Amino acid sequence: MIAPGTLATVVKLSPAGREVARYSAVVTDEVCPEPWLAVRATWTMKTVDASGLIFEPGDTLIEYFSPEHWFNAFRVIAPDGALRGMYGNVTHPTTIKSDSAGVFVTWHDLYLDVIRLADGKVVLADEEELATSGLAQTDHSLFDRIRSTADGMLTLAKSGKFPFHTPPD
């Protein structure tokens, strides 16, 4: 178990495996089912509208990563504490490494995203990115894994189950 308050560096890789984002986070004290890890980060990028889920500079993200599951999820919280929604990414299982310098979390995005808005509406996003990737022809096994993972995420998001949950205050 990684101690709450431990500094973390989160690295996002594109579907092609290139680094596209790197930012600082802190391990939270939220109790997660094994093998999940939760970190807290601050959104510092420009405003983004992701299928109705707005990310604004200063928002808090509680991010859930797993070295076994093929997805992650981010809870987006406005500066006033209001829940904006949840954003889930289909990914390769996350690499989580811990050493004396802190925790390093590396996740590899795989096109599809599942969004759960604050009102409970659930959206599957970026299907066109997967369709144009060519994976259906070049790596049908990975294509099928991405689709089945998204289906499982949709079920979790619609039911509000971890990691698409809202923990008690």
CATH number of domain containing 42: 2.40.380.10
Domain presence at residue 166: no
Domain presence at residue 47: yes
Domain presence at residue 39: yes
Which pLDDT value is given to residue 169? 63
Domain presence at residue 110: yes
Domain presence at residue 167: no
Domain presence at residue 137: yes
Domain presence at residue 164: no
Tokens representing 62 are 């509680």
CB-based contacts of 77: which residues, under 8 Å, 6+ apart?
59, 60, 61, 62, 83, 84
Domain presence at residue 25: yes
- Tens-of-pLDDT digits for all 169 residues of the chain? 799 999 999 999 999 999 999 999 999 999 999 999 999 999 999 999 999 999 999 999 999 999 999 999 999 999 999 999 999 999 999 999 998 888 999 999 999 999 999 999 999 999 999 999 999 999 999 999 999 999 999 999 999 999 999 877 6
Which pLDDT value is given to residue 67? 98
- What residues make up the domain containing 22? 7-159
Overall domain count for the chain: 1
